[in-house]
Chain A
Amino acid sequence: MKKQLSDKFYKEIDRLRPRYPTNQALLLPALHLAQDELGWVSGDTMDEIAAAIDIPPPVVREVITFYTMYNLKPVGNYHLQVCTNISCALMGAEKLLEHCEKKLGIQAGETTRDNKFTITEVECLGACGTAPCVQINKDYYEDLTTEKMDRILSELK
């Protein structure tokens, strides 16, 4: 198996190791680090992580499937995570999601052909007072309107 994760990943794992009394506690941080590097977590990456933190490979699969933030298939450079939960819904999230889908020519759950954008419909992001909210990669965009969304999308290269 060819190594996919960088030296930086291994160094970071070594830095985090003393924080926890068990190896398995490193799993969520390791998955975040791996996804930051590779954009998603493949089966091979899961096996490499299992070896890196010395836990059985099936445990990685058991755990990763519980959480929604780990991408089990590749996503576009910009991952639009549109909240449609209640507070965002009340402020027009449905329309916003539809607008994004139309504009990018894909449905939620899909990636554009040029691998630039992925849209995912997500649950509450905890930004209800500034709804509707969309998370793009690591950043929140709040108080959105369709016009504001257009501007944001046009600035994403």
Chain B
Amino acid sequence: MAEKIVSKYFYNKEAAALSFYQKDGGYSAAKKALGMAVDDVIAEVKKSNLRGRGGAGFPTGMKWSFIPKDSKAPKYLVCNCDESEPGTFKDRAIITYSPHMLIEGMLIGAHAIGAHVGYIYIRGEYVREAEFLEHAIDEAYKAGILGKNAMGSGFKFDLYVHRGAGAYICGEETGLLNSLEGKRGEPRVKPPFPAIKGAFGGPTIVNNVETLAAIPWIINNGGEAYAKMGKFPNSGGTRLYCVSGHVNKPGLYEFPCGAVTLRELIYEHCGGIRDNRKLKAVIPGGSSAPVLAAHEIDIPLDVEPMAKAGTMLGSCGVIVIDDSWCAVKIIKRVTHFYAHESCGQCTPCREGTRWMEDVLHRIEDGHGKMSDLDLLLNVADNINGKTLCALGDAAAGPVLSFVKKFRHEFEAHIKGGKCLNA
């Protein structure tokens, strides 16, 4: 069994306590990092090939190095805990069982980029989880880990929890920053990127929970050791795969990047498809990822192999669908979500997502026309790549892939007015 990093303490309720974490060596990495030169910390993270775990997969060390060293404006480190990509539920487990792993990662990151204030932006619905975090932060302040003189290093770091209020788009980093500032969570025009002008106008790094939670291990064991765990170049360490839907054992699984294929994950680790049914499709990276048909799942779970297969690893939200479900019904539900969550700034997304939902609705109800399929593809094409943020692409990609791969089901609805799965 490969080493567990971020899920090491999962389901152990005592592990959330500072005393438990410290007894197991917790905060030794922060102690070490606070004594290191900033450039050395960033170099170690660069060496680790750690990529952002929120969905975009951007190299974390490189992101950190974008922070201007001579900035007069205060710098900020923001943790993106707005986990709201459908199918994704890993960050919630990390903050429930390992809040101090996250806090330690943030302390190290703050030192690396020179930020004296950090915010954990947590989705509003995670009320209890926000309370766990507040409690853990209190513990860290009392122990002198956070505050004016973090761990006696002379480095000042204050960390606060900031709750969102129900908006998927606030997981987009510039939407998140607007929301943190008390504004509507509409994504910003980039550039400037947050590393130059982010929260409250200051240089800001936004990192996902799982990304930051991996930092202590990297500092303790070295970037090279982390990089070596990955099976493909440029993608180090482990990832948490969130498996939901029609498998026998849904849940969280941590494996080295690329070490396991999608088929192995589903059949060897998750116990296969429930009720002895057949696999129909997998949405592999959260609901924004283009769908894979049952025969397309021999792909190693890593960023590049998934991209090569025409989909994406995204946030590792693996949604497994058995053959009792209708493709039209599924994509209609997914599209409803994007129509609901479109912030409305960009016309192609605001109008297009609603049009796609309407057309899918009438196809499902048996009132569609054959030309509706081309219309769907046309609308999706007109959203793709034509919006400020990735929500547009996230809405278009799934529609394009579902129509392409399950066209016969759409046609059955249109021609016969009925569902092949009814």
For residue B35, which residues in chain A have a CB less than 8 angstroms away from its CB?
Answer: none
Query: How far, in whole Å, are A141 and B333 apart by their CA atoms in the complex?
Result: 22
Query: How far, in whole Å, are A90 and B333 apart by their CA atoms in the complex?
Result: 11
Residue A100 is within 8 A (CB to CB) of chain B in the complex = no
Of the A-B pairs whose beta carbons lie under 8 Å apart in the complex, a sample of 24, sorted by A's number, is A22-B181, A22-B200, A24-B181, A24-B183, A25-B180, A28-B182, A29-B163, A66-B186, A67-B124, A69-B166, A70-B166, A84-B333, A85-B287, A86-B333, A87-B86, A89-B330, A90-B246, A122-B166, A124-B287, A126-B126, A127-B89, A128-B317, A130-B250, A138-B128
Contact B128 A129 (CB under 8 A): no
For residue A22, which residues in chain B have a CB less than 8 angstroms away from its CB?
Answer: 181-182, 200
For residue A62, which residues in chain B have a CB less than 8 angstroms away from its CB?
Answer: 184
Q: How large is the interface on A (under 10, 10 to 19, 20 to 34, 35 or more residues)?
A: 35 or more
Query: How far, in whole Å, are A45 and B178 apart by their CA atoms in the complex?
Result: 23
Contact B165 A67 (CB under 8 A): yes
For residue A81, which residues in chain B have a CB less than 8 angstroms away from its CB?
Answer: 125
Total number of B residues with any Cβ neighbor in A under 8 Å: 55
How many pairs of A and B residues are in contact by the CB < 8 Å rule?
138
Contact B125 A135 (CB under 8 A): yes
Kindly report which residue of chain A lies nearest to residue B253, judged by CB atoms.
A129
Query: How far, in whole Å, are A129 and B283 apart by their CA atoms in the complex?
Result: 14
- Residue B244 contacts which of A28, A63, A131, A139 (CB distance < 8 angstroms)? A131
For residue B183, which residues in chain A have a CB less than 8 angstroms away from its CB?
Answer: 24, 63
Residue A31 is within 8 A (CB to CB) of chain B in the complex = yes
For residue A87, which residues in chain B have a CB less than 8 angstroms away from its CB?
Answer: 86-87, 244-245, 319
Expressed in whole angstroms, the minimum distance between the Cβ of A49 and any Cβ of chain B is: 11
Contact A90 B245 (CB under 8 A): yes
For residue B243, which residues in chain A have a CB less than 8 angstroms away from its CB?
Answer: 129
Query: How far, in whole Å, are A31 and B163 apart by their CA atoms in the complex?
Result: 11
Residue A6 is within 8 A (CB to CB) of chain B in the complex = no
Given contacts A63-B184, A135-B125, contact A126 B200 (CB under 8 A): no
Query: How far, in whole Å, are A101 and B408 apart by their CA atoms in the complex?
Result: 35
Residue A19 is within 8 A (CB to CB) of chain B in the complex = yes
Contact B319 A127 (CB under 8 A): no
Which of B23-31, B99-107, B334-342 forms contacts with chain A? B334-342
Kindly report which residue of chain B lies nearest to residue A26, judged by CB atoms.
B182
- Residue A129 contacts which of B89, B337, B340 (CB distance < 8 angstroms)? B89
Query: How far, in whole Å, are A25 and B121 apart by their CA atoms in the complex?
Result: 12
Query: How far, in whole Å, are A51 and B127 apart by their CA atoms in the complex?
Result: 26
Kindly report which residue of chain B lies nearest to residue A21, judged by CB atoms.
B200
Query: How far, in whole Å, are A27 and B185 apart by their CA atoms in the complex?
Result: 13
For residue A95, which residues in chain B have a CB less than 8 angstroms away from its CB?
Answer: none
Contact A124 B337 (CB under 8 A): yes
Kindly report which residue of chain B lies nearest to residue A139, judged by CB atoms.
B128
Residue B162 is within 8 A (CB to CB) of chain A in the complex = yes
